[in-house]
Amino acid sequence: MGRLVRRCLAVLLVWGLLVLAVLQLREGHVDTHTSDPRSRLLLMKAVASTPHTENAANAAASSSSTTTSPTPPLESLLVAEPFVDKNGSNRTQAEAEAEVARTLPRVPVDFWLKNKNRPMFYKNESCAKMPSIFELEFNNVYWQTMHTTNGTFQLYGAYYDVRRFSRIGPAVRILGMINRIEPTVKTYCQFWFDAQKEPVLVKTMEYKYIWYKKWGNYKQGIYQPYLIACQIPKTHHAKVPVSVSMVEKPCDTATNHLRVLYDRPAKKKGFAVCVKGLDFLHEDLSVRLVEWIELLGILGAEKVFFYELQVHPNISKVLRHYEQQGRVSVTPLTLPGGQPNIPGFQHMYLVKKVNHKRQNELIPYNDCLYKNLYTYEYIALLDIDEVIMPLRARGWRELMDEVLPKALAVKNETRASYNVRNVYFLDDLIHAHGWYKDIPRYMHMLQHVYRSKNFTKPNQYVKCFHNPERALTLHNHFPLSCLGSGCTSYPVETADAQLQHYRADCVRTLKKTCVEFRQNSVADTTIWRYKEQLIARTTDTLRTLGFFGPVQAPASGPASGPAAEQPDRPDRPGPPSSAGAGPAPSSNEIS
């Protein structure tokens, strides 16, 4: 019996060796040095690009759900090299510094690097020494902190202001939030100029409150938005400071250091649009965003400046696409102080704390204004569900060419803003009328052409074309403070333009009035003037970004596009009335 067992074991051993030998012959030699060391894919097994290894990889992938792949022979594993990212180990110090400068554009990294080994202080080393970037106190990535004996400052940006209507002359204005109302603490600005080892020390001139106390949140301890002003001394009027720090005592070593922004091209462009911090972590508004950006471009917006809190990946994809084209700018944003920046929870906080949300919004709005003081003739603050729509003119430039003479005829002065009245295009108004068959359903604004008959009251929920030469601080709807002769705003006639507001419902404060808005609606097809162009641009962008997936061109017939995708729709509706609003389109135009 023992002899039989030994024979069986010997047969199994021989059989196992034969199988192993066959596997070794079939395995062949795998070149593990074909992997690209620059690959960003981590822990991926390198395989040679031979038909056999490709088939083996495919076979292993297809069977992985049911069986475990056999372990490669030991000899193969000894020479295999997993893919790892080796870029970091080869980076130079200059590359690392350039990355930091890109990540923190408000910090004068290059200026500090150039002067870090020089004696940069006022009179002696113990007074107003230029702070190292490693000694700055950052808060939530993009803010810098100054603690004082009466309040904490969270500083966001600094800007050089030499506008002709400014009565204080050349100055640097610093945008930030202070956890005090009517701050009384005395502070100083330390200005740093190129090729000058000593800072220029100036007492802070003003804390301009960017809020009305009647709106609420007027409490000590809550971070409030402010615009802080420091004048440039006459001895330095011909120079632009590179950077500025704020301190409580003139000789303090600062814990903040801001680059002073100043961009003054030879010629101004026309129109820019500023959008507050986007807060759409789970809501995918990417398709509507494409339609909105394309419509603004058609109307005359030369660039859209977005600020980004938390957004859906598809929204990020859209923004990066337009950013690469130079049509939008995207600035990441956080909330300062102890306010939450955790994805999801931040949204809950902003929904619950409405006044905190409104006060935080004033930072990106005013940063956008001051970054573009000298770059654009007009700046509009819009949400992504709002469009300033000309009714007679074809675009914004033609609209303002019509509005300016009317404004000057009323009063011969340059206005700080030109406000446009709000009218609602509510989502559910289309339900009673159906979809338009010759317009893709993903074109939200083109499909929603029924609006409330009545506008919201004058000066309520308006949006403006702001004049950067005159606006000192901006609110969502109008300027809060201005240079020169006060905040004069010209109301654009509703026959010339309207603010088309695409919402599911009215704002909370208009709940009662909203019933009336819904019961009295009219068709307003003004936007259809741009229909073909807008459909083509939007669809082309969505297709480029892969929102339709792989699209097969038809074998014969018209070229692929919106028309080819919906061959059963009827002819286009008739043109709008001259005023834009009119009777409902005939029933054969909708489904």
The full DSSP string for 384-409 is: TTEEEEESSSSSHHHHHHHHHHHHHH
Residues 405, 527: one domain? yes
Residues 374, 252: one domain? no
pLDDT single digits (tens) 322-378: 999 999 999 999 999 999 999 999 999 999 999 999 999 999 999 999 999 999 999
Residue 578 confidence (pLDDT) above 60: no
pLDDT score, position 1? 59
Residue 31 confidence (pLDDT) above 70: no
**Directed axis angle between helix 286-299 and helix 313-324, to 10°?**
30
Residue 312 confidence (pLDDT) above 80: yes
The mean pLDDT of 182-209, rounded to a whole number, is: 97
How large is the greatest C-alpha to C-alpha distance in the chain, in angstroms?
120
Is 333 within a domain? Answer: yes
Average predicted confidence (pLDDT) for the chain: 86
Which pLDDT band, with edges at 50, 70 and 90, does 515 fall under? confident
Domain that holds residue 515: 269-545
**Separation in Å, CA 255 to CA 113, 155, 156, 267, 448:** 17, 11, 13, 37, 52
pLDDT higher for 80 or 534? Answer: 534
Is 575 within a domain? Answer: no
Residue 99: both structure tokens together: 């990355």
Is 207 within a domain? Answer: yes
Residues 332, 413: one domain? yes
Is 571 within a domain? Answer: no
Is 5 within a domain? Answer: no
The mean pLDDT of 487-495, rounded to a whole number, is: 97
- Rounded to a whole number of angstroms, the CA Rg of the chain reads 31
Residues 419, 523: one domain? yes
The dihedrals phi and psi of 160, each to the nearest 5 degrees, come to -85, 125
Residues 132, 156: one domain? yes
The dihedrals phi and psi of 437, each to the nearest 5 degrees, come to -75, -25
The mean pLDDT of 474-488, rounded to a whole number, is: 94
What is the sign of the dihedral through the CA atoms of 215, 220, 226 and 230?
positive
Residues 253, 150: one domain? yes
**Final residue in a domain of this structure, among 237, 261, 285:** 261
Residue 260: both structure tokens together: 């002073």
Residue 367: both structure tokens together: 């940063």
CA–CA separation, 224 and 359 (whole Å): 7
> If you count DSSP H runs as helices and E runs as strands, how many of each does the chain have, helices first?
14, 25
Percent of the chain at pLDDT > 90 equals: 72
Residues 392, 531: one domain? yes
Residues 253, 368: one domain? no
Strand, helix or coil at 115?
Answer: helix
Residues 256, 291: one domain? no
**Final residue in a domain of this structure, among 234, 261, 288:** 261
**Final residue in a domain of this structure, among 261, 294, 309:** 261
Residue 25 confidence (pLDDT) above 60: no
Residue 504 confidence (pLDDT) above 90: no
CA–CA separation, 467 and 488 (whole Å): 11
Residues 531, 504: one domain? yes
CA–CA separation, 257 and 132 (whole Å): 9
pLDDT single digits (tens) 438-448: 999 999 999 99
Helix locations, 429-585, DSSP H: 444-447, 511-519, 531-544, 562-565
CA–CA separation, 160 and 370 (whole Å): 8
Which pLDDT band, with edges at 50, 70 and 90, does 35 fall under? very low
Residues 313, 253: one domain? no
pLDDT single digits (tens) 375-433: 999 999 999 999 999 999 999 999 999 999 999 999 999 999 999 999 999 988 776 66
Q: Which residues pair with 258 in a beta bridge?
A: 244
Is 3 within a domain? Answer: no
Residue tagged 């690469």 (tokens): 324
Give every CB contact of residue 333 below 8 A, 6+ residues apart in sequence. Answer: 142, 277, 307, 308, 309, 363, 364
CA–CA separation, 323 and 33 (whole Å): 37
CB 366 within 8 A of CB 228: no
Which CATH number do you get for residue 414? 3.90.550
Residues 339, 470: one domain? yes
Is 51 within a domain? Answer: no
Is 208 within a domain? Answer: yes
Residue tagged 């508004």 (tokens): 285
**Separation in Å, CA 33 to CA 30, 36, 37, 82:** 9, 8, 9, 10
**Directed axis angle between helix 313-324 and helix 531-544, to 10°?**
110
Which CATH number do you get for residue 120? 2.60.40
Strand, helix or coil at 254?
Answer: coil
Q: Which residues pair with 176 in a beta bridge?
A: 155, 226
**Separation in Å, CA 242 to CA 193, 237, 347:** 5, 13, 36
CA–CA separation, 391 and 540 (whole Å): 27
The mean pLDDT of 151-168, rounded to a whole number, is: 97
CB 336 within 8 A of CB 139: yes
Domain count, the chain: 2
Lowest mean pLDDT among 189-193, 207-211, 450-454, 582-586: 582-586
CB 407 within 8 A of CB 525: no
pLDDT single digits (tens) 213-248: 999 999 999 999 999 999 999 999 999 999 999 999
Q: Which residues pair with 244 in a beta bridge?
A: 191, 258
